[in-house]
């Protein structure tokens, strides 16, 4: 559970952030946030506290990441090794096999 945000004399806002140790036990640590960023976000939101805002932002972030996963997939080292063993690496490709797509990208996918 997050608790109150404090704006420190060093001009940073700190928020205690739980670290998962077990399902029932949490410890707190500090999260440094730009106070102007936090104040602007609070002013634009319907949330009354930094705790509410941060919780809402994290829920929204999680929802968006689930809905729109990263465009570049993350693969394990084992998967990468399998791909390289089956297809090779860029270093294995001969220079004459490369295709320059500069013209294609500059002309909206059309080759002249």
What would the 3-class secondary structure string for 2-67 be? CCCCEECCCCCEEEEEEEECCCCCEEEEEEEECHHHHHHHHHHCCCCCHHHHHHHHHHHHHHHHHH
| Cβ contact 31:14 at 8 Å | yes
What's residue 80's pLDDT? 94
- Mean pLDDT for each 10-residue chunk of the chain (112 residues)? 42 55 56 91 93 91 87 88 91 81 79 64
Q: Say what the pLDDT of residue 2 is.
A: 40
Look up the pTM and report it. 0.42
User: What token pair was written down for 90?
Assistant: 């860029």
Closest to 67 measured CA to CA, from 77, 79, 59, 78: 59
Q: What pLDDT sits at residue 25?
A: 54
pLDDT at residue 41, rounded to an integer: 94
């Amino acid at each position: 559970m997050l608790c109150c945000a404090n704006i420190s004399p060093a001009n940073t806002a700190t928020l205690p952030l739980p670290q998962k140790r077990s399902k029932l036990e949490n410890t707190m640590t500090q999260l440094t946030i730009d106070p102007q960023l936090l104040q602007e976000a609070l002013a634009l939101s319907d949330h009354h506290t930094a705790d509410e805002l941060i919780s809402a932002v994290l829920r929204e972030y999680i929802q968006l990441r689930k809905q729109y996963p990263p465009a570049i997939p993350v693969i394990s080292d084992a998967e990468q090794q399998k791909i390289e063993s089956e297809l090779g690496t860029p270093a294995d490709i001969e220079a004459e096999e490369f295709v320059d797509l500069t013209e294609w990208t500059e002309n909206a996918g059309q080759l002249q």
